[in-house]
Amino acid sequence: MKSILTLDTIYYLLGIIVAFIAIRIARDHNHPNRLGSSLFWALFSVTFLFGNVIPPFYIGCLVIIMVLLASFNRVTKSNEAETPAEERVAHAQRLKNKIFLPALFIPIFTIIGTLLFGKIKFGNWALIDPEKVTLISLAIAAVIAFIASMGVTKAKMDVPVKEGSRLLQAVGWAVILPQMLAALGGIFSKSGVGTVVSDIVSDILPTNYAFVAVLAYCLGMLLFTIVMGNAFAAFAVITGGIGLPLIVHMHGGNPAIMAALGMFAGYCGTLLTPMAANFNIVPAMLLELKDKNAVIKAQVPIALSVFVVNTLLMYYLVYHF
């Protein structure tokens, strides 16, 4: 059965938005890195618009060029002036809590779409690709929230264009990290890193002790998440290499409890790494903090404390329930 809305439709929309940002930068003669920044965003838009027709090797080459541009600090934000503080305060006082309504529409319509949109059909055509219902519903919810925000704020069309471009440029190169880290996790999993990790851990540590197996698993999740910046990517490698063979198969642990608390251990690593840029670096960029690692430094005590408690909880719960 064919679908009216597919994930490619969403990618095309994202590609158009990113391409527009590239054009705005290219036309901004006051931009400090006009050529490098416009090229970065143009290449990023190409991956969305033509990713399904360009061979993977060439997409990889484009990504390498983007990484080089970011590495040499050629991807920076424009010098566009922000909305004056007095004007922002006036809008906040006028809108009050109504400003949060569009944000609430995103989870609400995502849930509604997940439950309903996949069932809507027109003859041999489905409204939404049944295999990607949740992701497409999230995108539809974002569009609905955008329309609602325009209605609530009564803003002109140039406002979201200008502010959206400014915010994405403020985030900068970090915007591509989630996709790259997810791909890295897939590569690690396919290349058998989990098996190698399992062999190394078994050779070095006395994993015949139940607590050592738990400690190795939790530390593995923490450290791999710090390296990869993504607990989901680390989960596939560490659970396949340490969790299942040692905790579940060797010591008879509960796999559901192990997986849940293992992800929690990974999230402790998320709090400690600049690789999780969308959590730790982007806020520092948007707030224009002098210390780009200020968010991480503030989270270190909490992350380590939670990790210790989480490890002890897993040791007790995974073998008793």
Same domain, 248 and 302: yes
Is the separation of the CB atoms in 136 and 128 below 8 Å?
yes
The pTM assigned to this predicted structure is 0.76
Is the separation of the CB atoms in 227 and 270 below 8 Å?
no
Q: What is the pLDDT of residues 133-192, one digit of tens each?
A: 888 999 999 999 999 988 888 888 888 888 888 888 888 888 887 778 777 777 777 777
Same domain, 137 and 229: no
Same domain, 10 and 121: yes
In angstroms, rounded to a whole number, what is the distance separating the alpha carbons of residues 17 and 155?
A: 19
Average pLDDT, rounded, for the chain: 87
Distance of CA 284 to the CA centre of its chain: 16
Q: Give the three-class secondary structure for 128.
A: strand
Same domain, 196 and 122: no
Q: What is the pLDDT of residues 96-143, one digit of tens each?
A: 778 888 889 999 999 998 888 878 888 888 888 888 888 899 999 999
- DSSP letter string, 216-246: HHHHHHHHHHHHHS-HHHHHHHHIIIIIIII
Above pLDDT 70, what percent of the chain?
A: 97
| Residue 184: inside a domain | no
Amino acid at 13: L
Q: What is the pLDDT of residues 208-257, one digit of tens each?
A: 899 999 999 999 999 989 988 888 888 888 888 889 888 999 899 999 99
Domain of 220 in residue numbering reads as 192-317
Is the separation of the CB atoms in 102 and 146 below 8 Å?
yes
Question: What is the number of structural domains in the chain?
Answer: 2
**Per-residue model confidence (pLDDT) at position 100:** 84
- Low-confidence winner among 14-18, 228-232, 293-297 (lowest mean pLDDT): 228-232
Question: 5: which strand partners?
Answer: 128
| Residue 145: inside a domain | yes
